[in-house]
Amino acid sequence: MPIATPEVYNEMLDRAKAGKFAYPAINVTSSQTLHAALRGFAEADSDGIIQITTGGAEFAGGQYSKDMVTGAVALAEFAHIVAEKYPVTVALHTDHCPKDKLDGYVRPLLAISEERVKAGRNPLFQSHMWDGSAETLADNLSVAQELLARTVAAKIILEVEITPTGGEEDGVTHEINDSLYTTVDDAVRTVEALGLGEKGRYLLAASFGNVHGVYKPGNVVLRPDLLKELNEGIAAKYGKPAGSQPFDFVFHGGSGSSPEEIATALENGVVKMNIDTDTQYAFTRPVADHMFRNYDGVLKVDGEVGSKKTYDPRTWGKLAEAGMAARVVEATQNLRSAGQKIK
């Protein structure tokens, strides 16, 4: 059962919450990066999450048609086949879908899973993200309500981002400013709209200074302790026990975070952490090294013929896979999911 069933995905999240660890959610754009993610999880004895953005799906769909749904379905079906060879369990997720792409991405994918479930099968994806951070909170939550009803029916978990994450992710851009911090009032409004599980489980991407992409130390002020304030505020308002954690939090913009910041986030209810920038670099860096070291082999320089062994995509592709897999292993160690796979 390498691809989690809906029941197992819920168990994975429950185990992470109880054990104070989180699953690395690795963005993939191709069969090769998907294998790298699976390899990293397997080498770390960690379950995990593999996710596809709208841009990643468009890329996987081929540059002739650039069809996002085709790319996402192809990668998901590929994962269902090849993951059987890896001794870990993974969930499939779609990442960052803004409002203008819902009809061309998440809603069609939901329809596919709805048909699968009606036929007695499991959904194609285990969770989908609605990124309404560019909308007003009222509009954001209105769409989230509609999507939550559909995801529940399709045995899928919804992820929502209620306030902005800074930087840029597949065309969704936010400035780095004070709006990058979710308030207790934002959390209350979210619960009023989506409930605390009685309407369906959802993952919450709250903002505590997170920024997508690459940034230097000091440019971003992360406050993972803010997640504790959000949990405490909701627990107090809704009569939950002191110290309870009503939310399943997602850590966005996790690349470049310090071990201390990650540890604080885990203690405060983060069960999923998105990693893309660091794994992109880890995939590309060995390729760049290979090209520089084998310049006259990968190119036909000065009338020579080059070296087929050096420009064969399998040669540098294996290096890329190994580099990315190693970074995934590191992520599992940072997030404490290494060695925590479901037996």
| Residues present in the chain in total | 343
pLDDT band, residue 219 (cuts 50/70/90): low
Q: What is the dihedral of CA 326, 329, 333, 335, to 10 degrees?
A: 120
What single-letter amino acid sits at 192? E
How confident is the model at residue 177, as a pLDDT? 47
* 249 phi and psi angles, rounded to 5 deg: -90, 150
Q: Give the integer Cα–Cα distance in Å for 71 and 59.
A: 7
Helices vs. strands in the chain: H and E counts, helices first: 13, 10
pLDDT tens digits, 56-82: 999 999 999 999 999 999 999 999 999
Residue 95 catalytic?
yes
| Secondary structure E strands in 236-284 | 249-251, 270-275
User: Between vectors from CA 43 to CA 9 and to CA 255, what angle results, nearest 5°?
Assistant: 70
pLDDT of 176 over the 50 cut = no
pLDDT band, residue 257 (cuts 50/70/90): confident
Other CB atoms closer than 10 Å to residue 168's CB: what's the count? 12
How confident is the model at residue 253, as a pLDDT? 79
pLDDT of 266 over the 60 cut = yes
Q: Which of 14, 45, 67, 95 is catalytic?
A: 95
182-201: string of b/e by CB count within 10 Å (b at 16+)? bbbebbebbbebbeeeeebb
Q: For the whole model, what pTM was predicted?
A: 0.93
pLDDT tens digits, 19-57: 999 999 999 999 999 999 999 999 999 999 999 999 999
* 44 phi and psi angles, rounded to 5 deg: -95, 0
pLDDT of 322 over the 70 cut = yes
Question: Rounded mean pLDDT of 132-144?
Answer: 95
pLDDT band, residue 146 (cuts 50/70/90): very high
State whether residue 13 is helix, strand or coil: helix
pLDDT of 178 over the 80 cut = no
pLDDT tens digits, 296-307: 999 999 999 999
Average of per-residue pLDDT values in the chain: 93
pLDDT tens digits, 39-49: 999 999 999 99
- DSSP letters, 59-81, are HHT-TTT--HHHHHHHHHHHHHH
